[in-house]
Amino acid sequence: MKKKMFIVVLIVLASIFQSCSKESDKKSSGSGALVGNDKTIAFVPKQLGNPYFVAVKDAIEEAATANGFKFKSNAPDSSIEVDKQIGIIEAFIAQGVDYLVLIPNDATAVVNVINEAAAQGISVFLVDSGAEKSDYVAYIGTDNYAGGMLAGDWFGENIKGQVAIIDGAAGNAATTARYKGFMESVKKYPDIEVVTVDYGNGDMGTSMSVAENFLTAYPNLAAIFSCDDQMAQGAGQAVQAVNKGDSIVVCGFDGSPNGAQAILDGIMDVSIAQQPRLMGKTSIDYIIKLIDGEEIEPIIYTDCEVVTIDNAADFLEWH
């Protein structure tokens, strides 16, 4: 009797082990937790001095390692270092990484290196900022043109008078699209006059100097639209320095925690929020879809929304 009971227990345990083994196999193949199978994903953003790009990096790294990929990252020191970014990408290609996730500093200059990667069998995904026609798999991020239009509509409903714009950097696809969307939108509003535009190069100090020049040249300025939150914070500091915080509206673009805090502190008034963490995670989701043989749309958009004093507290962490 005891022998029979022992055999039954062994059968039950074997059944449980087999079930667990099958479940483990599922997690190590297809779209499960170990789908990466030690393949390497390299991430190259514009820079890592801007917390926005750090948020994208952190989300990509978390999702990549959770799914069994190896992860590498490197970046230039500035968003205007186009050649340095290309050199970093070329180094990753030479290392034979399996996937590249890029946030290009220049939409045109990066085309050849994207095509080079694809020719080496490396799948390239673009996040946040696009590139000219080339052999990348998909773009994942904000519809920056639509985000610029959203900012323009907010200006049209809330601002009257002269407006200045601080763009990112020449060749920056994301900020250029925001600028173009904003300009297209404000055409509908006769009470808004865009009087000047200059580049802030994604840098707070540079943008503060640019804004100081705006304030000198246009003493009746009503608002400044900056194409990212770092530049908006620089503009806001310039406005505060001349005690015009109550009369000049400062708008950014990102919905960053620092930008949200700047709104709460009265340095900025509004931001157009993106979702950088969602973009980063989505890039890994789509790499897994590619591995699984699923069809992938070439453009995957994430949403924007307006951040003001009313909801800024909800954006003290990256979305």
Of 17-21, 122-126, 135-139, the poorest mean pLDDT is in: 17-21
- Across all residues in the chain, what is the average pLDDT? 91
Spatial strand order in the sheet of 161-167: 192-199, 161-167, 221-226, 249-254, 270-273, 305-307
pTM of the model: 0.80
163 and 111 inside one domain: no
Beta-carbon contacts of residue 182 (< 8 Å; ≥ 6 apart): 148, 149, 151, 152, 155, 165, 225
DSSP-assigned letter for residue 215: H
Residues 75 and 161 grouped into a single domain: no
Q: Name the residue among 128, 123, 122, 71 with its Cα closest to residue 105.
A: 128
Element (H, E) at 221: strand 221-226
Instruction: Let me know if residue 14 belongs to a domain.
Output: no
Pairing of strands 99-102, 192-199: unpaired
Which pLDDT does position 38 carry in this prediction? Answer: 87
For the ranges 15-24, 55-64, 215-224, the lowest mean pLDDT is seen at 15-24
Taking only the tens place, the pLDDT of each residue in 264-312 is: 999 999 999 999 999 999 999 999 999 999 999 999 999 999 999 999 9
Rounded CA separation 49/12 (Å): 57
The residue that leads in pLDDT, 12 or 288, is: 288
pLDDT, average across residues 132-149 = 97
Mean pLDDT of 49-58: 94
Euclidean distance between CA atoms 128 and 290, whole angstroms: 19
Give residue 27's pLDDT.
38
Looking at the structure, tell me whether residues 44 and 97 fall in a common domain: yes
Domain that holds residue 203: 144-274+308-315
* Residue 25 confidence (pLDDT) above 80: no
pLDDT for res 283 = 98
Hey, is 207 helix, strand or coil?
Answer: helix
Q: How many domains does the chain have?
A: 2
Does the structure show a pLDDT above 60 at 37? yes
Q: Do 99 and 216 belong to one domain?
A: no
Domain assignment of residue 221, yes or no:
yes
pLDDT at 34: 72
The enclosing H or E element of 287 equals helix 276-291
- Among the ranges given (6-20, 203-217, 248-262), the one the predictor scored with the smallest mean pLDDT: 6-20
For 249-264, the DSSP string reads EEEEEE--HHHHHHHH
Q: Which two tokens stand for residue 176?
A: 């250029």
CA dihedral of residues 303, 309, 310, 315 (deg, nearest 10): 40
Closest CA to 157 of 183, 192, 182: 192
pLDDT of residue 171: 87
Looking at residue 150, what is its pLDDT?
Answer: 98
Is residue 65 one of the residues assigned to a domain? Answer: yes
